[in-house]
C-alpha cells in the first residue's frame, strides 16, 4: 500500500476541509440540539439552561409511541414500495439504448425540481372527489359515483413514494448499469427463464445495492412533514409533524429536541439492523 | 463433401445477422458434425462471437435457420436450448460460492439437494478443483475461475458446448495448459464443442475443424487444421493462418507460373491455369530451403540474403529475389551456411506452391 508521507502539510489540509464541513454543519448543530434536549422550557419565553432529563421521560406516552411506530412503518413501507417498483424500472432503463436512458433520467430529475408542496396538492387534487381520477373512472363506467381518496393512508403513500421514487432510481442506476450483461445471459444458457434470471441473478448480485437503497429511501422519507399534513388524516401524522408542531407552534424547543434525538437513535438502530441482516446474507469472504 | 459421413450435428442455413445498418454475419452456411471440437477463427470484428451467440440463442438471426440434429431451433429461446456456454468475461455469479455457481442450473431444475451436491463434487473433480465448493469466487485465481465457468456450463450436460474466447484473459503459459486440458476434457466427454478465438495457434492446438472467418464477415474456409494450413482457400486464409510467402505471378502453362522472371512448377490446380492470368502463390516458410551461392535448376529463385533471424529453436532467412521477398524457415540442424549480404538460392518444391483463388 502506498502511504502518504506523515506530516505532509498538504495532505493534512486536504483532510481539514471535509472535517471542518462536517463539524460546522453537522456536529455543532447536533450538539446544540442535544444540549437543548436536556434544557427546560420557559413558558412564554424560550428555554432555561437547567439540566434535566424530564423531556426524555415525557416521551414515554402512548401517543408518542403510536406516532413513532407509524412514522417508522410508513417510511419502511414507502421504501419497500419504491425499491420494489424502482428496481425493475431502473434495470429496464439500463438495458435501453444510451439515448433512451438519458431521456428517462431527465424526466426523473425534472420530477425532483417539484417542491413537496406542489406534489402534495397535486395528489390531493388528483384523488379528490370533485376533480379527481374517480370522476374519470365513473365516466368510463368502472365506478358508480366519484369518491374522495384524499386525505388517507394510500394518498399519503402515493405522495411520499412519488417524492422518493426519483432518488430510488438515481441511487440504483450506477450499480445496475455496471452489471455485467453476460450475467443474465449466462443464467439463460443455464436454463433460467427471464423471470428466474431476474430474481436469482440480477436481484441476487445487487443485494447490497438494494439494502443501501432501502436505507436511503427510509431515512429520506422519515423526514417528510409536509405531505402527511396535506395527504394524511391526523392519525397519519408522522413524528416529524409532531416535532414541528412542538417546536414552532408550542415553542417547546427542548421537548422537540428530545423527540428528534430519540427519533434519530431509533432510526439509526433500525438502519444498523438492516445493514447487519444485509451483510449476513451476503457472500462469505 | 468429405465430412458427409459424420452424423449431422449443427446446421447453419444461410445465416445473416444485422445490427441496425451493420452486418455482423453474412451468408453463413455451415454443417458442424456431432462430437467434434470446432474453432471459429478470425480477426476481431469478423462476426465469430455473433455467430456463437446466434447458436446459443442469445441473438436472433436476421435471416436463415439454425438446425440441430434436423430440428429447427431458430425460434427456441436460449434457456430451452440446453447449450452450455463459457463467456469471455466468464460471467460467474459474484454473489454465489463456487459450489452454488456450479449448482445453479441444477437448482433451477429443482434437482434433489443430495444429488446436486454429488454432481457439484463430480464436476469440480473433473475440472481439477476438488474441495473448492465453499470458496467464494473472488478468492480464486484466473485459471481457477476459468475452470469454475467450465464446470458450471457442463453441469447441464449440454448438447453443445460453446466457448467465447475463454482463455484470452490468461497469461501465455497458463493458456497453453488450459488449451490442452480443455481439449482432453472434450475428448473424454465427447460433447460437440465450438470455441471462438482469434489465436490461430490455439485453434490449431485444440480443434478437429477450423472455420476461418474474414473481416468481410463471411466464412472463408472450413477444414481440418492441416487442410487449412496446407491448402488455404484464398489469400486471406493463407495470410491469417501462420506466416506465408504470398508470391504474385503470371500463368504460363497448366502447372507453370512465372515469378520474378523464373518459371515455377506448382501444385496441380483443378482445371489448370490460364495463360497470362495473374495468380498468387502461397508457400509456407518451412517448405522453402536455402542453399548458398547461385544455383540453376527447376523451381529455384536466386537472391540476396537481407536478414537472418536466429531465435535458437529455428532460423529464418529473408531473401530479396529480384524484388520478391521470400522468407524461409529451417531448424538449427539444417541451417544453411549463409550470412547477411550473401548471394543464395531458394528452392521451392512444386508440392509446396499452392495457387490461391483471390
Query: The domain spanning residue B320 has which CATH number?
Result: 2.40.50.100
For A48, the enclosing helix (H) or strand (E) is strand A47-48
Give the Cα separation of B80 and B63 in Å (integer).
21
* Between residues A284 and B278, the one the model is more confident about: B278
- B214 and B264: one domain? no
Give the Cα separation of A285 and B135 in Å (integer).
8
Contact residues on chain A for B79, CB-CB shorter than 8 A: 187-193, 197
Alpha-carbon distances of B157 from A191, B83, B114, rounded to whole Å: 11, 8, 18
Is residue B3 situated within a structural domain? Answer: no
Q: ∠ CA(A214), CA(A219), CA(A220), 5° rounding?
A: 100
- Percent of chain B topping pLDDT 70: 97
- B325 and B195: one domain? no
Give mean pLDDT, residues A189-211: 92
Question: Over 60: is that where the pLDDT of B1 sits?
Answer: no
- B85 and B168: one domain? yes
Is residue B1 situated within a structural domain? Answer: no
Is residue B109 situated within a structural domain? Answer: yes
> Per residue in A204-223, pLDDT tens?
999 889 999 999 999 899 88
Q: What is the pLDDT of residue A56?
A: 87
> Per residue in B171-198, pLDDT tens?
888 888 889 989 999 999 899 999 999 9
Architecture of the domain delimited by A60-281: Orthogonal Bundle (1.10)
Residue where one domain finishes, among candidates B207, B239, B271: B239
- B300 and B221: one domain? no
Residue where one domain finishes, among candidates B196, B220, B239: B239
- Which of A42-56, B54-68, B104-118, B320-334 bottoms out in mean pLDDT, i.e. has the lowest? A42-56
Give B218 to chain A, closest Cα distance, Å. Answer: 25
Q: What is the pLDDT of residue B5?
A: 42
Per-residue H/E/C for B191-206? CEEEEEECCHHHHHHH
Query: What CATH number does residue B161 fall under?
Result: 3.40.50.300
Give the Cα separation of B312 and B331 in Å (integer).
9
Pick from A97, A186, A187, A202 the residue to mutate for testing the B interface (most B CBs within 10 Å): A186
Give the Cα separation of B327 and B336 in Å (integer).
13
Give the Cα separation of A150 and A129 in Å (integer).
8
Question: Over 80: is that where the pLDDT of A112 sits?
Answer: yes
Q: What is the pLDDT of residue A5?
A: 59
Q: What is the ipTM of this complex?
A: 0.81
Q: Which of B87, B104, B138 sits opposite A182 (nearest CB)?
A: B87
Cβ proximity of A209 and A176 under 8 Å: yes
- B234 and B316: one domain? no
Q: Domain tally for chain B?
A: 2
Q: ∠ CA(B203), CA(B204), CA(B209), 5° rounding?
A: 75
- B154 and B300: one domain? no
Sheet holding B300-310, edge to edge: B289-292, B343-347, B300-310, B315-321, B324-330
- B262 and B190: one domain? no
Cβ proximity of B273 and B239 under 8 Å: no
Cβ <8 Å between A190 and B105 = yes
- E strands, chain B, are 10-19, 22-32, 37-41, 63-68, 71-72, 83-86, 160-164, 192-197, 209-213, 219-223, 245-251, 256-259, 262-265, 278-283, 289-292, 300-310, 315-321, 324-330, 343-347, 354-356
Is residue B215 situated within a structural domain? Answer: yes
Give the Cα separation of B45 and A158 in Å (integer).
50
- B195 and B72: one domain? yes
Domain ranges of chain A: 60-281
Q: Which of A189, A193, A201 sits opposite B93 (nearest CB)?
A: A201
Q: What is the pTM of this model?
A: 0.79
Nearest by Cα to B308 from B337, B348, B345 = B337
Is residue B5 situated within a structural domain? Answer: no
- B204 and B253: one domain? no
Question: Over 50: is that where the pLDDT of A283 sits?
Answer: no
Q: What is the pLDDT of residue B9?
A: 84
Q: What is the pLDDT of residue A116?
A: 86
Give the Cα separation of A30 and A38 in Å (integer).
13
Mean residue pLDDT of chain B comes to: 89
- B67 and B124: one domain? yes
Is residue B2 situated within a structural domain? Answer: no
Q: Which of A183, A188, A285 sits opposite B136 (nearest CB)?
A: A285
Q: What is the pLDDT of residue A282?
A: 46
Q: What is the pLDDT of residue B60?
A: 93
- B90 and B123: one domain? yes
Mean residue pLDDT of chain A comes to: 87
Residue where one domain finishes, among candidates B183, B208, B239: B239
Is residue B262 situated within a structural domain? Answer: yes
Q: Which one of A45-49, A236-240, B39-43, B232-236 scores highest in mean pLDDT?
A: B39-43
Question: Over 50: is that where the pLDDT of B226 sits?
Answer: yes
Quote the domain boundaries for residue B32: 10-239
> Per residue in A4-14, pLDDT tens?
555 677 777 88
Amino acid at each position: 500500500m502506498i502511504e502518504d508521507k506523515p506530516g505532509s502539510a498538504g495532505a493534512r489540509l486536504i483532510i481539514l476541509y471535509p472535517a471542518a464541513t462536517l463539524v460546522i454543519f453537522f456536529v455543532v448543530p447536533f450538539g446544540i440540539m442535544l444540549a437543548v434536549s436536556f434544557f427546560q422550557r420557559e413558558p412564554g419565553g424560550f428555554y432555561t439552561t437547567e439540566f434535566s432529563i424530564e423531556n426524555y421521560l415525557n416521551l414515554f406516552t402512548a401517543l408518542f409511541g403510536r406516532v413513532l411506530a407509524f412514522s417508522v412503518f410508513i417510511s419502511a413501507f414507502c421504501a419497500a414500495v419504491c425499491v420494489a417498483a424502482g428496481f425493475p424500472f431502473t434495470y429496464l432503463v439500463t438495458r435501453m439504448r444510451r439515448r433512451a436512458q438519458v431521456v428517462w433520467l431527465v424526466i426523473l430529475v425534472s420530477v425532483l425540481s417539484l417542491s413537496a408542496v406542489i406534489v402534495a396538492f397535486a395528489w390531493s387534487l388528483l384523488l379528490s372527489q370533485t376533480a379527481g381520477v374517480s370522476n374519470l373512472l365513473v365516466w368510463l363506467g368502472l365506478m358508480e359515483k366519484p369518491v374522495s381518496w384524499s386525505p388517507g393512508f394510500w394518498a399519503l403513500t402515493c405522495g411520499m413514494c412519488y417524492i422518493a421514487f426519483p432518488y430510488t432510481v438515481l441511487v440504483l442506476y450506477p450499480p445496475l448499469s455496471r452489471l455485467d450483461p453476460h450475467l443474465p445471459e449466462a443464467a439463460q444458457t443455464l436454463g433460467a427463464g427471464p423471470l428466474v434470471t431476474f430474481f436469482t441473478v440480477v436481484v441476487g448480485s445487487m443485494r447490497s445495492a438494494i439494502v443501501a437503497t432501502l436505507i436511503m429511501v427510509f431515512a429520506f422519507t422519515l423526514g417528510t412533514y409536509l405531505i402527511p399534513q396535506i395527504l394524511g388524516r391526523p392519525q397519519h401524522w408522522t413524528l416529524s409533524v409532531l416535532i414541528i408542531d412542538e417546536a414552532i407552534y408550542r415553542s417547546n424547543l427542548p421537548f422537540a429536541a428530545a423527540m428528534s434525538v430519540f427519533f434519530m437513535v431509533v432510526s439509526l438502530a433500525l438502519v444498523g439492523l438492516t445493514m447487519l441482516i444485509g451483510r449476513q446474507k451476503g457472500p462469505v469472504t | 463433401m468429405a465430412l458427409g459421413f459424420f452424423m449431422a450435428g449443427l446446421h447453419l442455413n444461410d445465416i445473416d445477422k444485422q445490427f441496425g445498418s451493420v452486418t455482423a454475419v453474412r451468408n453463413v452456411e455451415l454443417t458442424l458434425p456431432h462430437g467434434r471440437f470446432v474453432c471459429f477463427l478470425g480477426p476481431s470484428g469478423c462476426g465469430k462471437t455473433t455467430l456463437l451467440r446466434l447458436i446459443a440463442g442469445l441473438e436472433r438471426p436476421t435471416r436463415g435457420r439454425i438446425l440441430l440434429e434436423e430440428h429447427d431451433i431458430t425460434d427456441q429461446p436460449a434457456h430451452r436450448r440446453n447449450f452450455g456456454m463459457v463467456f469471455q468475461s466468464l460471467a460467474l455469479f459474484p454473489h454465489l460460492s463456487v459450489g452454488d455457481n456450479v449448482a445453479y442450473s441444477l437448482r433451477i431444475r429443482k434437482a434433489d439437494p443430495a444429488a446436486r451436491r454429488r454432481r457439484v463434487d463430480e464436476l469440480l473433480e473433473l475440472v481439477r478443483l476438488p474441495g473448492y465448493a465453499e470458496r467464494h469466487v473472488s478468492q480464486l485465481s484466473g485459471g481457477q475461475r476459468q475452470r469454475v465457468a467450465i464446470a458450471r456450463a457442463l453441469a447441464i450436460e449440454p448438447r453443445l458446448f460453446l466457448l467465447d474466447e475463454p482463455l484470452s484473459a490468461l497469461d501465455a503459459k497458463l493458456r497453453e495448459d488450459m488449451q490442452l486440458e480443455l481439449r482432453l476434457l472434450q475428448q473424454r466427454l465427447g460433447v460437440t464443442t465450438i470455441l471462438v478465438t482469434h489465436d490461430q495457434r490455439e485453434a490449431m492446438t485444440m480443434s478437429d475443424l477450423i472455420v476461418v472467418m474474414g473481416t468481410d464477415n463471411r466464412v472463408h474456409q472450413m477444414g481440418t487444421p492441416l487442410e487449412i494450413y496446407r491448402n488455404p482457400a484464398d489469400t486471406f486464409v493463407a495470410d491469417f493462418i501462420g506466416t506465408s510467402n504470398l508470391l504474385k505471378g503470371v500463368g504460363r502453362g497448366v502447372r507453370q507460373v512465372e515469378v520474378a522472371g523464373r518459371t515455377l512448377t506448382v501444385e496441380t490446380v483443378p482445371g489448370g491455369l490460364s495463360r497470362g492470368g495473374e495468380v498468387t502463390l502461397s508457400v509456407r516458410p518451412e517448405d522453402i530451403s536455402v542453399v548458398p551461392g547461385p544455383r540453376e535448376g527447376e523451381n529455384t529463385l536466386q537472391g540476396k540474403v537481407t536478414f537472418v533471424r536466429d531465435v535458437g529453436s529455428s532460423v529464418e532467412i529473408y531473401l530479396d529475389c529480384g524484388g520478391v521477398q521470400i522468407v524461409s524457415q529451417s531448424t538449427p540442424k539444417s541451417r544453411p551456411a549463409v550470412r547477411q549480404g550473401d548471394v543464395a538460392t531458394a528452392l521451392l518444391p512444386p508440392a509446396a506452391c499452392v495457387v490461391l483463388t483471390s
